[in-house]
Structure 1
Amino acid sequence: MVPDLKRRLPGRGVWVEARAGSVGAAVAKKVFARGFKAESRVSADLAAEVEALLERSALDMLSLANKAGRVVTGFGKVETALDRNEAALVLHAGDAAEDGKRKLAQAARRGTGGGEVRVLSLFSSRQLDLALGRENVVHAALLADPVSDAFIARALQLARYRDGDTGQPAETDQE
């Protein structure tokens, strides 16, 4: 049994809600064997494997957006992109300081005139470093572009899978 995240593999499939809890429950209840009407071997870690695949897909697309020149990193550059209303999304590393997040949320409110910029904290600083080919990435912004939209779609899919959180707009991020 293989996860078909792109929904393109041939043959019969079993659909499970794309949330870690649902996949874990389906494995525990042996839903796949019932769905295939045959004995099936399913990894006990299927939920974690799917999460890793979704995470890899999102990070690969972030790397592609970076190569296209649609990612800025560093507090100052992210703040400038927000002030100019150029950012489509702000990424904070999981270990980013709350003070930095708060200041960037204020910059987003200034730049958008009170509008919304989606904010996500899905990845560690190390993961961002590797995806972007830089060291010590704590804050990053994606500039509006179709490749940025593709990353955002994958990142939101990962966020929904993990816990249903699709990120708070900077306007309501009051932490």
Structure 2
Amino acid sequence: MAKTARSKAGFADALDDESGPERTCAVTREKAPFEDLVRFVLGPDHEVVPDIKRKLPGRGVWVSLSRQCVAQAVKKQVFARGLKDKAVAAPDLPDLVDDLLRRDALQALSIANKAGLVTTGFVKVEKAIEAGDVGALLHARDGKADGKRKLGQALRRVYGPESKPEIGLFSTEEIDAALGRGHVVHAALGNGAATKVLLASCRRLAVYRGEKNTDGPAGGEDLTADETGPSRGQDGNAGDISSWDARTI
């Protein structure tokens, strides 16, 4: 009985502690950098609210950055225990987190565009690559594989085997809405702070979704292995943000 009480107390203390660089997942009980987790707080009417910006006031519960872990948190009703109050977690909470992460990444893309860091159009993207002024490439998920392949090869010719990140998480419609332009399939992102923010947001979204192939545009048609080298997604670390140094998101 005493051991159980100590265990519960330790769990509660871990949830309460929001200082330092690490947090404890309420599902796995494992510690991880806060960037690798999603924070949840209690909103109006006792509903569980995702706090992806980690800025909302109040007591927080942290869950690993994984759709499966969030679904488990809902199923096991960990929020009520962690928040020490009646907490209503909607069954579609995993979908809500995905949508918020997606919107956050698209907002970051819009900000990068306003900062003058986005170049669109196949030919203009090629020229930007040749000029050596590219921090990342963006491909529409529903774009043709041939265009992605050609631009990827051009990127590696200039920057070498490790190259630069390529993002393939969004549809043409989503990219068009974020940029306020029509039918954008490919875009080059210039070097700058806004591009770094975009890449961080995209990595969080890809990790949450459990994207395994880090050598092909995530959510789009993969590049073939003989063009990209061995896959980095085979070691089981795709869900760990710290391991996301691959070319493509």
Same fold (TM over 0.5): yes
RMSD, aligned α-carbons? 2.0
Query: In 1, Cα distance between the equivalents of 2:162 and 2:133?
Result: 12
Structure showing the higher helix proportion among its residues = 1
Unaligned runs of 5+ in 1: none
Question: Separation in 1 of the partners of 2:71 and 2:187?
Answer: 32
Query: For the structure 1 residues 80 and 115, does the alpha-carbon distance in structure 2 shift closer, same or farther, using more than 3 Å as the test?
Result: farther
Equivalent position to 2:86, from 26, 39, 42: 39
Larger radius of gyration: 2
Match of 1:174 in 2: 224
Match in the other structure for 2:150: 103
1:92 aligns with 2:139: yes
Identity of aligned residues (%): 46
Task: Give the match's secondary structure for 1:78.
Answer: helix
- Are the equivalent residues in 2 in contact too, given 1:83–1:112 (CA < 8 A)? no
Q: Number of matched residues?
A: 174
With the length of structure 1 as denominator, give the TM-score of the two structures.
0.91
Q: Deviation of residue 168 (structure 1)? A: 3.1
The code of the aligned residue for 2:199 comes to I
Q: Which stretches in structure 2 are left out of the alignment for 5+ residues?
A: 1-47, 226-249
Show the 5 A alignment for 1:65-144: 65-144=112-191
Could you report, residue by residue, the CA deviation over 1:72-111 in whole angstroms, capped at 9, with x for unpaired residues? 1111111112222211111111111111111011110122
Alpha carbons of structure 1 residues 107 and 84: separation in structure 2 relative to 1, 3 Å:
same
Structure 2 CA distance for partners of 1:166 and 1:85, relative to 1, 3 Å = farther
TM superposition score normalised by structure 2: 0.65
Higher relative contact order (CA 8 A, sep 6+): 1
Q: Specify whether residues 165 and 73 from structure 1 end up closer, same or farther in structure 2 by C-alpha distance, changes over 3 A only.
A: farther
The partner residue of 2:204 within 149, 157, 160 is: 157
